[in-house]
Structure 1
Amino acid sequence: MLTCPHPPAITLVMDPHDDVTHTRAALAAHDPAKGRLTIHPTPGTRSALALAHDVLAALGKPVPLTGYRPLDHRPAWMLCAAWTLALPITHVTLLRAHLLDPDALDDLLALRARTGLRLALVCHQRKVPAALERALDRTDYYLADAEALLPAEETATRPETGAPGKPSRRWIALPALTTLRSLDDTDHCTCQPPTADERGFTPPSVPAADRSLIAYRLQAATAHPHLAAQLATACHTAASMPQLLTARVTDAALDARTLTLHDPANARQGCMTHPVPSWARPFLRATVFLHLLTTDSKGVRLFTDPLRAAQLPRLTDVAEQCKLRPPQPPRPKRRKNARRTSPPPTVWPLSTAHHHTL
């Protein structure tokens, strides 16, 4: 399991007067694109699961999570750690730290130990509560004054967000997804795969204007990294679902710059190592980190959930949620004065490739 043996000391920020300017300054510093999160716990909640959901929400993930037991907080914290390492997040400021219960504090310190992030806990009381004091006694920390660490609102710099204010909800038609559903029976093999360049493979073209939008939609669509990474991989490789399932954790580079997919019968492309575009790397990194955090990853399929969630959506459902689909057949012309009907369902071609050898 991944751990950081010597995480940075915790900063305990004392704000005994609960000054609104300090809270606003902390919130203004929130900028995941620059590795900084500010967590403002949901009012009236103190539990470990509620805090994990607050962290995931700050990361831009939909909560509550689906597929896990309702009161089990472990999967949520493992997902927090995977996304924290993948993005990467280096600084976390937690407001209202004096309200957390012991379990929530323990899980927060475990997140720090797994990821090595710099953690600042803001206590809005004159005296440190007993639960927080006991948690801090087990680790290194130092005191800081809110006046010094959290400048007044007018001097705080508000971050520039990378995501568009009102992202487009138009459908994006990707020819690469035409072969996503397939009857190919492809399995993993023990090959020495050539690179895509060596095989002469031309990756599917994704317009520059669509790349950031696809990444933004995948980031917001699901907290399950294997689903986001699997769909992102299909978009930049045109691989079918059976071929995607051949990838093991060891087939992905730790920096997520390359990924090997296997096709021993050469039903489609043959085994090859694909370069991963920069927009898709965070999803692949999060998937790899989640496996390394939770399992013995040797031989484990990459695009599976090591936390064993139940009843997760199908990959095509995730794609439609992100408004990604293959090019659609032309719609029949609507007769004049005909009643307007709802849009037709997405057509996902079911293809079979012809087996051949090089």
Structure 2
Amino acid sequence: MLTCPHPPPPMVVFDPSDDAAHTRAALLMHHPTAGRATIHPTPGTHSTLTLAHNLLDALGKTTPVPGYRATDPAPAWTLAAAWILALPVTRLTVLRTHLLSPRALNDLLALRARTGVHLHLVCHQPKLSAALERALARTGYDMADADAVLSQDDHTPPHTPRTRQAAPDSAEWIDLPALTTLTSYETSPTCPCTAPTAAERGFRPPTLPSRIAAQVAHRLDRTAHPHLAAHLAAAVVTAASTSQLNTARVLDLAPDGTTLTLHDRHNIRQGCTTHPVPAWAQPLLRAAAFTHLLATGERSSALFTDPLGAHGLPSLKDFAEHLKLRPPQPPPPRRKPRRGQQPTATIWPLSGAHHALRWTAEENMQGCPQPPRHRP
């Protein structure tokens, strides 16, 4: 199981006057993509699960996380650790730590041991609480004054604009040609090959315009389950079928997330290929790999499965439709739908050795809504 051999000692930041300027400075430091995160624990609760959800919320993930027992905090802490490693976040500031329960403090220190994150514990009183003193007695700690640590005027990276940008629209469907070949009933067993790159094979998945890539990344970034976000991101990036995606193992992802190898020993569509991974998708795939390494330490396990045992999660197609991502659809019928008529279900063309998507000229002319024909 993944741990950091020499995590930095926690730093206790004393703010005895509970100065609002220090709290504001800590919150302004929050910038996960720049390696800094700040959490303000939910007041009036001692639940360690709530604290884990506070951390996931701070990282931009939707909580509560479905698929696990509602009273079990362990999966949420593992997912938080995976996202911290994947982004990566190197500095985590926690406000009001003198109010945290002993178990919550132990889970924070365990997070530090798993990820190596530099943990700043802000104590808004002149001395350590009894629980905080006992927790830190096992690790040692450094001390700092809030005036020295939380008084900088600007914690925003120089290249980051200060103006708040509008979130991409998530109400509209995005048609992605790469998802046309997703559904497959073929099998592609994993093989111990050294796969050539996509460029060497002459294979080029459909490219995404930067605006569309930003919208897809925005919708996937909210997902707390790394294996779901990574699975769909890989489908968009590689234009691979589900049978090919299912061959990916943790060891098939480069440590920095820049390449992903998929296997297709029978050469149904692409052959075994090493695909480049764009920057927007790299944290998603790294988080999926880190979840396996944190939970089991296995590098040979299937990358797009959940080692934490979540149940009741959507299939890949259902997840894509939930995010309003789909393959291009046939032309709509000319006649207007009747009032109250249900919208047409998404058509997922079948891919594989004997199937390919074809919209015929006749269907385009007539606006026929029937499923696409397949060429034998």
Tell me which interval the TM-score lies in, with the shorter structure as reference length: over 0.9
What displacement does 1:306 show?
0.8
- 2:210 maps to which of 208, 211, 233: 208
In the aligned structure 2, how far is the partner of 1:351 from the partner of 1:151?
Answer: 58
Aligned partner of 2:197 in structure 1 is 195
1:316 aligns to 2:322 (yes or no): no
What are the residue-to-residue correspondences of 1:102-251 with 2, within 5 Å? 102-151=102-151, 155-157=153-155, 160=161, 164-169=165-170, 170-220=172-222, 222-251=223-252
In the aligned structure 1, how far is the partner of 2:177 from the partner of 2:118?
Answer: 43
In the aligned structure 2, how far is the partner of 1:163 from the partner of 1:240?
Answer: 38
1:15 aligns to 2:20 (yes or no): no
In the aligned structure 2, how far is the partner of 1:231 from the partner of 1:87?
Answer: 18
Counterpart contact for 1:249–1:291, Cα < 8 Å? yes
Q: Deviations over 1:144-174 (max 9, x none)?
A: 112222128xx34567479842321222111
TM, length-normalised to structure 1: 0.93
Structure 1 stretch displaced more, 344-353 or 321-330: 344-353
Aligned partner of 1:301 in structure 2 is 302
Aligned partner of 1:345 in structure 2 is 345
Counterpart contact for 1:68–1:75, Cα < 8 Å? yes
Counterpart contact for 1:33–1:162, Cα < 8 Å? no
What displacement does 1:296 show?
3.6
Counterpart contact for 2:184–2:352, Cα < 8 Å? yes
In the aligned structure 2, how far is the partner of 1:329 from the partner of 1:108?
Answer: 51
Aligned partner of 2:55 in structure 1 is 55
* Matching residue's letter, 1:21: A
Structure 1 stretch displaced more, 19-28 or 164-173: 164-173
* Matching residue's letter, 1:20: A
In the aligned structure 1, how far is the partner of 2:295 from the partner of 2:324?
Answer: 31
Describe the SS at the equivalent of 2:281.
Answer: helix
What displacement does 1:342 show?
5.4
Aligned partner of 2:290 in structure 1 is 289
> Residues 321 and 30 (structure 1 numbering): CA distance in 2 closer, same or farther, change over 3 Å?
same
In the aligned structure 2, how far is the partner of 1:296 from the partner of 1:229?
Answer: 18
Describe the SS at the equivalent of 1:229.
Answer: helix
Where do 4+ consecutive residues of structure 1 move more than 4 Å? 156-163
Q: Which runs of 5+ in 1 are unaligned?
A: none
> Residues 161 and 290 (structure 1 numbering): CA distance in 2 closer, same or farther, change over 3 Å?
farther
Counterpart contact for 1:243–1:262, Cα < 8 Å? yes
In the aligned structure 1, how far is the partner of 2:78 from the partner of 2:155?
Answer: 31
* Matching residue's letter, 1:45: T
1:256 aligns to 2:257 (yes or no): yes
What displacement does 1:340 show?
6.7
Structure 1 stretch displaced more, 106-115 or 167-176: 167-176
* Matching residue's letter, 2:307: P
> Residues 29 and 280 (structure 1 numbering): CA distance in 2 closer, same or farther, change over 3 Å?
same
What are the residue-to-residue correspondences of 1:22-101 with 2, within 5 Å? 22-101=22-101
What displacement does 1:321 show?
2.4
In the aligned structure 2, how far is the partner of 1:324 from the partner of 1:51?
Answer: 32
Structure 1 stretch displaced more, 142-151 or 265-274: 142-151
What displacement does 1:178 show?
0.9
